[in-house]
């Protein structure tokens, strides 16, 4: 099952998560976890639907200070509202920074009822203390024309306007196809160049970018301040598999050398493998904490 199928099924058939007693959190409900390393909850997609509180507790014990829910298309994540999820995370020393969400292409009239999706998204996200709503996949299909790209850029700017009015920020997370070209234009770069920096930010997924043939380092240097969020994933270009951070082809030491100057604000691990997910996330965390920017050591 691919990620999009997983999110779609999760939105319609969520298992009732088991609850744990208040005493389970008492020893952890102190100061927020140190450092600046977050986790996209899709990384633990097999564990968290079975036990939301227990899985969050394990992530907190690893040291994560931030969480990013996935598939947040209404005020529910696995039967919890954003406010409830924020309270649960806060008791464990973590905060919600952002959420993956998204809609298809909408009309240019932001007063149309269809735009209520983004207006409500802003309301829900703010209720949990989050500030960044991330469109998690490219709207408009894969067989794009240049006119189609222009329409997407317009949509992103409009979504950015609506989110800004609602008190949050709008951004876009890339997959592989955004490294393809439409004519002479790389899709991802076209969107960066043709959206308003005051309204639209980008969350660069490092593993997807490498898999798509892109150069993470050059993108950060070429578009400073436009990519304030990283999805820390890794892909081995020779073996053609996603892997643990530091074991693939993403040049993290070089990337962290320019993290400050290019405007990194939010660092979020997304582990694409799903074998021993908690163990894999801990290895990723331990790899990233060597870099001074993370503030863990």
The helix/strand/coil state of 209 is helix
Domain that holds residue 154: 3-294
pTM as predicted: 0.89
CB atoms within 10 A of CB 80: 19
- At 252 the pLDDT is 98
* The total number of structural domains that make up the chain: 1
Hey, what are 235's tokens?
């892909």
Q: What is the SS3 assignment for 242?
A: strand
- Structure token digits, residue 10: 């999760």
The CATH number assigned to the domain holding 125 equals 3.20.20.150
Whole-number Å distance between alpha carbons of 25 and 32? 13
Length of the chain: 297
**What is the per-residue pLDDT for 3?**
52
Per-residue pLDDT of the chain (297 residues; tens, 9 = 90+): 555 544 444 443 333 333 333 333 333 344 579 899 999 999 999 999 999 999 999 999 999 999 999 988 888 899 999 999 999 999 999 999 999 999 999 999 999 999 999 999 999 999 999 999 999 999 977 788 999 999 999 999 999 999 999 999 999 999 999 999 999 999 999 999 999 999 999 999 999 999 999 999 999 999 999 999 999 999 999 999 999 999 999 999 999 999 999 999 999 999 998 789 999 999 999 999 999 999 997
Instruction: Report pLDDT for 31.
Output: 52
Backbone phi, psi, residue 253, to 5°: -55, -40
Instruction: Please list, in sequence order, all residues whose beta carbon lies within 8 angstroms of the beta carbon of residue 53, skipping any fewer than 6 positions away.
Output: 17, 18, 19, 20, 24, 25, 88
**Whole-angstrom distance, CA of residue 53 vs CA of residue 76:** 15
CA distance 210 to 205: 9
């Amino acid at each position: 099952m691919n990620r999009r199928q997983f999110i779609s099924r999760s939105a319609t058939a969520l298992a009732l998560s088991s609850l744990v007693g208040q005493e389970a959190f008492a020893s952890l409900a102190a100061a927020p976890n140190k450092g600046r390393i977050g986790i996209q909850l899709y990384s633990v997609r097999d564990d968290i639907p079975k036990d939301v509180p227990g899985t969050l507790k394990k992530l907190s014990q690893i040291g994560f200070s931030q969480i990013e829910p996935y598939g947040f298309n209404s005020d529910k994540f696995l039967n919890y509202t954003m406010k409830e999820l924020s309270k649960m995370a806060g008791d464990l020393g973590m905060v919600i920074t952002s959420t993956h969400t998204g809609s298809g292409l909408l009309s240019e009239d932001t007063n149309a009822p269809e735009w209520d999706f983004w207006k409500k998204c802003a309301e829900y996200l703010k209720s949990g203390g989050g500030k960044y709503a991330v469109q998690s996949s490219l709207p408009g299909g894969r067989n794009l024309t240049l006119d189609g790209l222009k329409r997407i850029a317009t949509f992103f700017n409009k979504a950015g306007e609506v989110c800004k009015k609602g008190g949050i920020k709008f951004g876009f997370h890339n997959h592989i196809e955004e490294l393809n070209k439409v004519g002479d234009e790389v899709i991802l770069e076209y969107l960066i160049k043709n959206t308003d920096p005051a309204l639209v930010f980008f969350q660069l997924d490092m593993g997807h970018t490498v898999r798509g043939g892109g150069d993470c380092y050059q993108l950060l240097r070429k578009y400073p301040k436009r990519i304030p969020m990283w999805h820390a994933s890794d892909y081995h270009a020779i073996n053609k598999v996603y892997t643990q951070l530091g074991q693939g082809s993403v040049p993290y030491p070089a990337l962290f050398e320019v993290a400050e100057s290019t405007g990194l604000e939010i660092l979020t691990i997304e582990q694409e493998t799903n074998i021993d997910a908690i163990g894999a996330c801990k290895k990723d965390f331990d790899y990233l904490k060597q870099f001074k920017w993370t503030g863990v050591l």
